[in-house]
Amino acid sequence: MLTFDVQWLDREITVTVAGEEIVLVVGPEELTDLMGAYNWGVKHGFLNLPEGDEIPVESPLGPAAVENYQILRRVKVWRGLIDPKGEPLPCTEINKLAFFGRYPGALFDLARQLREQETAAAKNSGTSPAG
């Protein structure tokens, strides 16, 4: 039997950008994030929805852009980012796009850390014998 823990706690992941530590609070991967990212990819031309018998044509960056946007959607809160007035920068979709667009290394680091943590969690949950 598969052991499935529905009690996912948000993860805090720290990335370093320009010598500053930014704490990102990341929620679990959910179907709504996948679907939202897919719709975003279609809307912005990274993915093409075929009509009728058309063959879909994707941007070469399509799958990577959609995957990165899916990760970006999971960021719920951040700490350590301020606006030019010294106020905390709200963690909105437009601000996340601007921040990770300016600092793509932070997104890559976030994705790597999430992958490592989720892989370790999956190994630790394993399966339990039927009984």
Q: What is the pLDDT of residues 55-114, one digit of tens each?
A: 555 666 667 777 877 888 899 999 999 999 999 999 999 999 999 999 999 999 999 998
Q: Give the C-alpha separation, 111 to 117, whole Å.
A: 10
Two tokens, residue 44: 């912005």
**pTM value > 0.95:** no
Q: What is the pLDDT of residues 20-61, one digit of tens each?
A: 999 999 988 776 776 777 777 777 676 666 666 655 556 666
SS3 state of residue 42? helix
**Spatial CA neighbour of 70 closest among 111, 10, 17, 99:** 111
Burial level of 47, CB count in 10 A (0-12/13-18/19+)?
A: buried
Two tokens, residue 100: 């990770």
Q: Which DSSP letter does residue 106 get?
A: H
